[in-house]
Amino acid sequence: MTDPKTPVIALVGSESLMGRELRDIAATSTPEIALKLIAAEDEQPGALTRVGDVPAVVSGLDAESLAGARAVVLAGDTESARKALELLDANEDTAVIDLTGFAEERPDARLRAPLVEAGAGEAETEDGAGARVHVIAHPAAIALALFLRRLHAHDPILRSVVEIFAPASEHDMRGVKELQQQTISLLSFQSLPRAVFDAQLSFNMLPRYGEEAPASLEDTELRIERHLATLLALPGEGSGAPLPSLRLIQAPVFHGYSISAWVEFDGNPGIEALEASLAVGPIEVRTGEFEPPTNVGQAGQGGIAVGAVSVDRNNPEACWFWLVADNLRLAAENAAEVARQLP
């Protein structure tokens, strides 16, 4: 049973993939996170569901449902984020934790990634916790910041090139369902649904979406780059790692980011030294005697996993790395940590 003194966190978009991930984290969180579930614009209020083993009813999105919450987490669609922010603008005591990116351009917004900030020192954490609107950084930017800052702290990086393979779940259940339906349609020789990607994603890789797609892969790529630049500039260990040349590719997978990174050092210390320096905190390292990590194997796991480290055959000062991360879990665990830090 929830302690009545535990601050309540209102979760808008509780049935989204991100919302469900936060519900899973809250069910096992220490200290406890008390969630109040609120439907996004495309969800049905009044539904009976669970947070862990505890039954919960999903409320409608209105001023009454948000009243009394210590913070409101935005995890649904952009319309529900817009409506929630409008309802909250008159209440400066309620913090906002934005997982949609909708509030990013607000003057009172602060980009947050507690897993990265942990290396920036106490002052940075306290400064972030004092903000009102907390925009959680893109999970690919968080993954790369963890990796590059840790490398740079021990072995200075000269330059790097990164290819990010994005999953369909970055578009919530709409993306997952479209990839599933495209696969079924291709195997049964039927026309393909194209509402999300406006292109064939099933059995295919996309450097850009079709012209009628509601979102742009290029815009997401720029957002990752923008967030990564901010996270790499945070003070503390690994600060100042050079921004990589970056390319985002849409992969025909349901969940999890896979990242191929080429890194050139100012004196390559060797694979064993690099693996040893990386293996700390939220970074799991798979050394050569183990199978490399995969996005499927990383599902439901926090942090990032790194493996398949090898020296570039054409440049002895450079190495290749393979990174994976559960995109939903990585973003949700950073949002949960922001909630725990709130005064």
Output the average pLDDT for the chain: 91
Residue (of 291, 205, 308) closest to 249 by Cα position = 205
Packed helices 139-154 and 217-232: angle between N→C axes, nearest 10 degrees: 40
Confidence of residue 316 (pLDDT cuts 50, 70, 90): very high
Euclidean distance between CA atoms 300 and 93, whole angstroms? 33
- Tell me what pLDDT residue 320 has: 98
**HSE of 251, CA atoms in CB hemisphere, 13 A:** 16
- Tell me what pLDDT residue 127 has: 60
Structure token digits, residue 90: 């008159």
Condensed to tens digits (0 to 9), the pLDDT of residues 25-63 reads 988 877 778 888 998 877 877 777 777 777 788 888 888
Confidence (pTM): 0.93
Residues 208 and 122 sit within 8 Å (Cβ to Cβ): no
Long-range contacts of 194-199 (CB under 8 A, 24+ apart): 196/168, 196/171, 197/250
**HSE of 324, CA atoms in CB hemisphere, 13 A:** 21
**71 Cβ contact list (under 8 Å, min separation 6):** 7, 9, 10, 94, 95, 96, 97, 339, 342
Euclidean distance between CA atoms 200 and 272, whole angstroms? 41
- Tell me what pLDDT residue 1 has: 46
Structure token digits, residue 191: 């026309």
- Tell me what pLDDT residue 58 has: 85
Which has more pLDDT, 305 or 54?
Answer: 305
- Tell me what pLDDT residue 44 has: 78
What is the set of domains in the chain, with CATH numbers?
8-137+332-341 (3.40.50.720), 141-327 (3.30.360.10)
Average pLDDT of the residues in 263-276: 94
**162 Cβ contact list (under 8 Å, min separation 6):** 144, 244, 245, 246, 247, 259, 260, 261, 262
Neighbours of 47 (CB within 10 A): 14
- Tell me what pLDDT residue 26 has: 87
Packed helices 17-27 and 327-341: angle between N→C axes, nearest 10 degrees: 50
Condensed to tens digits (0 to 9), the pLDDT of residues 125-154 reads 556 666 889 999 999 999 999 999 999 999
